[in-house]
Amino acid sequence: MKISASFLGVPNIASTLRRLNVTDVDYIHVDVMDGKYVKNKTLPFSEYSTIPNYTRKRLDVHLMVKSPLKMIDDYANLNVEFISVHLDINDKIEKIIERCHLYGMKVGIAINPKDDITKVYPYLSKIDLVLVMSVEPGLPGQEFIKSTLSKINMLKEEIKKQGVKTLISVDGGVTLDNVKYLRDVDIIVSGSTITKSPDFQDTITKLRG
């Protein structure tokens, strides 16, 4: 299991990224919000473009925006491993997948807690990742929604049935107490559990189990 560390809500992004850079965390999770798809709004790309100044870690970009296609060209210039968009935006999903792959980035589709997980099934052979939201998108520090576990199990069965290698990532409310239920997913996204801890590496090691 790999770990993607989110810095959403931290008081000092540069300092947090520097501290994460010296850990063995696998990815930096970059939450991008436009104030339209979700109420909150994050820093503009001009600020996020400086992330590689503070960390060499590969980026796991989560676009919580209504129009992600126009953002892909910008983020392709960063050290991006994954870029995920929400299925319910209904904004040229096929074209988004194609554009991400054209740049050599892996692409994911995010599914919200209220979404029907089966809606992502037709895309499994075309994408690299399903980002299963275990909280409502847009706010840090929420409690893990337990019904997420049944969605994960359904998704695992469908991935096996289709014979594809699509990864499963889980984002939201992951703690040292509930991570034991997520040992068989590919990636977990963790924010405040890591960034509010005194020792980032120790917490990351404990999350890995």
pLDDT of 91 over the 70 cut? no
The domain total for the chain is 1
- The pLDDT tens digits for 119-138 are 999 999 999 999 999 999 87
Residue 154 sits in a domain whose CATH number is 3.20.20.70
pLDDT of 57 over the 70 cut? yes
The sign of the dihedral angle between the CA atoms of 54, 6, 181, 206 is positive
Cα dist. 21→9, 24, 25, 80 in Å?
Answer: 18, 8, 8, 15
- The pLDDT tens digits for 95-113 are 999 999 999 999 999 999 9
What is 102-150 written as a DSSP string? HTT-EEEEEE-TTS-GGGGGGGTTT-SEEEEESS-TT-TTPPP-TTHHH
For the residues 27-34, what does the mean pLDDT come to?
96
- Tell me which of 26, 31, 60, 128 is the catalytic residue: 31
Please give the residue range of the domain that contains residue 31.
2-208
Annotated catalytic residue 31: yes
For the residues 18-29, what does the mean pLDDT come to?
98
**What is the pLDDT, as a whole number, of residue 142?**
79
- The pLDDT tens digits for 160-208 are 999 999 999 999 999 999 999 999 999 999 999 999 999 999 999 999 9
Annotated catalytic residue 60: no
Question: What's the DSSP call for residue 179?
Answer: G
- Tell me which of 73, 116, 171, 177 is the catalytic residue: 171
**What is the pLDDT, as a whole number, of residue 139?**
73
